[in-house]
């Protein structure tokens, strides 16, 4: 089950009456328990990485400073970090000598701002670890839940090691989409739901594919009145021009220019998003890999990142290769070429582009690695390496109104950095092998990241069939999760909800309550989940 579908059912699993629920089969129980066990194990790795990171000042000496905004490289620079901020930047010859500092000798290598994945559905410690290890230091989650707001706060406060989070609220749509959309009955209800999401603390309001124009306009007007940016899919039957004029700040998956209903080319009026427009386009080219078949699909399954995908997911992807190619898959394959053409047209119009992946919900996607694929695909679609780099650094900062916070290496900015062997302005392939990452000021050297990845690969290789489902196993994972939570870690409430549900189905109500308590879902106030089931 995907992160979004877990999020849909988490309240039901934790708080809805379960009288009469049939006892789950052994496979369901094993998977639900194993998912939480794996998440807890990955969270432990993140905790150890954070504990091993140098405390206090860290000096990056003799680096070449890359500025994506003007595509410049300044040699012989030093950068001093005190988590979570950059406190000094300048010529190495003028660097203040600080005996108490940890010194990283850059040896003339390239120091670059951390990458942003501007469209994810992230909900696991494993995903966060993979993102960090690939230089992704910030993400924008596009289908939020209250637990993500707690994770956002824990990361900002330095209690938890993960990419910085910006979180869109539950999406607005005319259909419930299996429980992960809010469905306003009319414009009045739409305005009320926007106010509720604003009060809960979400960063953005997101619209989806199907929304009548009066309701869409009400959502847009209320978001604007509250100072919240509107993002998401351009709904069916609403022109891109109308969406932009209504205030949409980021347009996802090229919806509108690609007809979502047919996956064929749609509108061709690029003027609303052309140079000068305060609107950004997130193509999510990497999503097209889900349509791969034959040798291309096998190549993707053999990619290095697949080592870190849970065995159950890899097995499902491998099994899908044996399924017949139907009309839907053929349309998807044709859409890959259309999307590339649209990106080319956007580039010619000098429209603004963001790097995003839509991970983690489609075949062959691996968190972190997916964004590196996206950068390569943007280059193949016509962007220069500098433009692709800006799509993952300075463009996200501007789109999220965080230009003074992230995207460049400047004194006072958040210390999100990547140390590279080669110059990414000559090719974003440079990110395929970094020498270390700074996330929120924590220096994660490559050797420790490699060791963490090896441990994660071993966790991913564990078969669900080997999981023992008994009270001792539940107590063990609950005790480990509680200890991590006391340290500040916030777990995916959807996965906890699924486990709590199967435990209740077995009649283990006290253990179900213990697991549910880790999710700590709001039962009153503006963050109560109102998505229809």
Mean pLDDT of the 9-26 span = 35
As a whole number of angstroms, the distance between CA 81 and CA 56 comes to: 8
Q: Is the pLDDT of residue 174 over 90?
A: yes
Mean pLDDT confidence for 155-181: 95
Q: Does the CA dihedral 456-458-463-468 come out positive or negative? A: negative
pLDDT at 4 over 60: no
Say what the pTM is.
0.94
Instruction: Verify cis geometry, omega within 30 degrees of 0, for the bond prior to 84.
Output: yes
417 - beta bridge partners? 113, 438
What does 164-186 look like in DSSP terms, one character per residue? Answer: EEEEBPSEE-SS-GGGTEE--SS
Token code pair at residue 324: 């017949």
Residues 6+ apart with CB under 8 A from 159: 487, 488, 489
- H helices, E strands: number in the chain: 17, 20
Q: Supply 533's token pair.
A: 């089931």
**What value does the mean pLDDT of the chain take?**
94
- Based on the number of CB atoms within 10 Å of its own CB, is 268 exposed (0-12), middle (13-18) or buried (19 or more)? exposed
**Phi, psi dihedral angles at 357 (to 5 degrees):** -120, -25
Tokens found for residue 311:
């065995």
Nearest-angstrom CA–CA distance, 341 and 347? 10
Q: Is the pLDDT of residue 13 over 60?
A: no
Report which of residues 55 and 107 the model is more confident about.
107
User: Which two tokens mark 49?
Assistant: 């990485």
SS3 letters across 391-412 = HCCHHHHHHCCCCCCCCCCCCC
Beta bridge mates, 60: 79, 104
User: pLDDT category, 122, cuts 50, 70, 90?
Assistant: confident
Please state the separation of Cα 256 from the chain's center in Å.
23
* Under 8 Å between Cβ of 50 and 488: no
**pLDDT the model gives residue 123:** 75
184-191 contacts, C-beta under 8 A, 24 or more apart: 184/215, 184/218, 184/219, 186/214, 186/215, 187/214, 187/215, 187/217, 187/218, 188/218, 190/215, 190/218, 190/219, 190/222, 191/218, 191/219, 191/221, 191/222
pLDDT digits (tens, 9 = 90+) for 419-452: 999 999 999 999 999 999 999 999 999 999 999 9
* 3 has pLDDT over 70: no
pLDDT of residue 34: 98
- pLDDT, tens digit (0-9, with 9 covering 90-100), for 229-259: 999 999 999 999 999 999 999 999 999 999 9
Q: Phi-psi region for residue 276, left (φ > 0), alpha (ψ -120 to 50) or beta?
A: left
Determine the Cα angle at 331 with ends 177 and 290, to 5°.
Answer: 65
Going by the DSSP 8-state scheme, the letter that residue 101 receives in this structure is S
Residue of 201 and 123 predicted with greater confidence: 201
Tell me the backbone φ, ψ of residue 443, rounded to 5 degrees: -85, 115
User: How do strand 442-445 and strand 204-207 relate by DSSP bridges?
Assistant: unpaired
b/e string for 426-457 if b means 16 or more Cβ within 10 A?
Answer: ebbebbbebbbbbbbbbbbbeebbeebbeebe
Q: How confident is the model at residue 520 (pLDDT cuts 50, 70, 90)?
A: confident
Rounded (10°) angle between helices 3-15 and 493-505: 50
Which comes out higher in pLDDT, residue 440 or 19? 440
Residues 499, 473: Cα–Cα separation, whole Å? 12
Give the pLDDT score at 360.
84
CA 459 to chain centre: 21
Question: In the predicted model, what is the mean pLDDT of residues 205-222?
Answer: 98
What is d(CA 476, CA 146) in angstroms, rounded to the nearest whole number? 26
Residues contacting residue 305 through CB under 8 Å, at least 6 positions apart: 130, 366, 368, 369, 370
Host H or E run for residue 88: strand 85-91
Query: Does 2 score more than 60 pLDDT?
Result: no
Model pLDDT for residues 314-367, shown as the tens digit of each residue? 999 999 999 999 999 999 999 999 999 999 999 999 999 999 999 987 999 999
Q: What is the pLDDT of residue 178?
A: 86
Report, as an integer, the average pLDDT of 81-93: 98
Angle of CA points 411, 412, 413, to nearest 5°:
95
Which residues make Cβ contacts (< 8 Å) with residue 52, sequence separation at least 6?
448
Which letter does DSSP use for residue 359 in this model?
B
Domains of the chain: 3-52+453-519 (no CATH), 61-113+412-445 (2.30.40.10), 115-399 (3.20.20.140)
7: confidence class by pLDDT, cuts 50, 70, 90: very low
Residues 476, 40 contacting (CB under 8 angstroms): no
Which of 189, 115, 7 shows the shortest CA–CA distance to 392? 115
Distance CA 527, CA 533 (A): 17
- Whole-number Å distance between alpha carbons of 334 and 312: 29
């Amino acid at each position: 089950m995907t992160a979004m579908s877990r999020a849909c059912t988490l309240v039901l699993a934790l708080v809805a009456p379960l009288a009469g629920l049939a006892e789950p089969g052994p496979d369901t129980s094993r998977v639900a328990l194993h998912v939480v066990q794996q998440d807890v194990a990955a969270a432990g790795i993140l905790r150890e990485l954070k504990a091993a990171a140098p405390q206090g000042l860290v000096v990056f000496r003799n680096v070449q400073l890359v500025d994506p905004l003007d595509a410049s490289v300044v040699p012989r620079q030093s950068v001093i970090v005190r988590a979570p901020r950059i406190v000094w930047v300048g010529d190495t010859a003028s660097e203040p000598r600080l005996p108490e500092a940890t010194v990283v000798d850059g040896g003339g290598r390239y120091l670059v701002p951390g990458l942003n994945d501007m469209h994810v559905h992230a909900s696991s410690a494993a995903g966060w670890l993979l993102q960090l290890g690939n230089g992704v230091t910030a993400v924008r989650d596009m289908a939020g839940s209250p637990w993500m707001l707690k994770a956002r706060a824990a990361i900002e406060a330095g209690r938890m090691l993960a990419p910085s989070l910006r979180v869109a609220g539950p999406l607005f749509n005319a259909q419930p989409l299996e429980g992960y959309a809010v469905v306003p009955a009319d414009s009045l209800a739409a305005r009320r739901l926007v106010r509720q999401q604003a009060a809960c603390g979400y960063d953005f309001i997101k619209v989806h594919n199907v929304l009548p124009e009066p309701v869409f306009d009400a959502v847009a007007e209320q978001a604007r009145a509250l100072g919240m940016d509107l993002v998401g899919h351009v709904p069916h039957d609403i022109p891109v021009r109308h969406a932009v004029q209504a205030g949409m700040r980021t347009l996802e998956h090229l919806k509108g220019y690609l007809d979502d209903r047919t996956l064929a080319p749609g509108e061709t009026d690029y003027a609303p998003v052309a140079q000068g427009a305060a609107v950004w386009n997130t193509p999510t080219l990497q999503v097209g890999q889900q349509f791969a078949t034959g040798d291309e699909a096998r190549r993707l399954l053999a990619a290095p990142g697949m080592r870190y995908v849970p065995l159950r997911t890899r097995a499902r992807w491998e099994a899908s290769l044996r399924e017949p190619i139907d009309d839907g898959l053929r349309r998807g394959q044709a859409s890959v070429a259309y999307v590339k053409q649209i990106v080319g047209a956007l580039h010619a119009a000098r429209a603004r582009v963001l790097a995003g992946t839509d991970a983690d919900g489609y075949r062959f996607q691996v968190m972190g690695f997916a964004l590196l694929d996206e950068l390569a695909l943007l280059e193949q679609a016509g962007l220069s390496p500098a433009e692709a780099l800006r799509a993952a650094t300075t463009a996200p900062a501007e789109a999220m109104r965080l230009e003074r916070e992230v995207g460049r290496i400047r004194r006072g900015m958040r210390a999100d950095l990547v140390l590279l062997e080669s110059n990414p302005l000559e090719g974003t392939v440079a990110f395929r092998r970094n020498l270390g990452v700074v996330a929120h000021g924590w220096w994660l050297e490559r050797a420790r990241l490699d060791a963490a990845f090896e441990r994660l690969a071993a966790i991913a290789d564990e078969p669900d069939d080997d999981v023992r489902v008994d009270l001792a196993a539940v107590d063990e994972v609950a005790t480990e999760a509680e200890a991590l939570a006391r340290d500040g870690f916030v777990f995916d409430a959807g996965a906890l909800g699924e486990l709590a549900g199967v435990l209740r189905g077995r009649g283990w109500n006290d253990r179900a309550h213990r697991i549910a308590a880790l999710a700590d879902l709001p039962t009153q106030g503006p963050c109560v989940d109102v998505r229809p089931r």
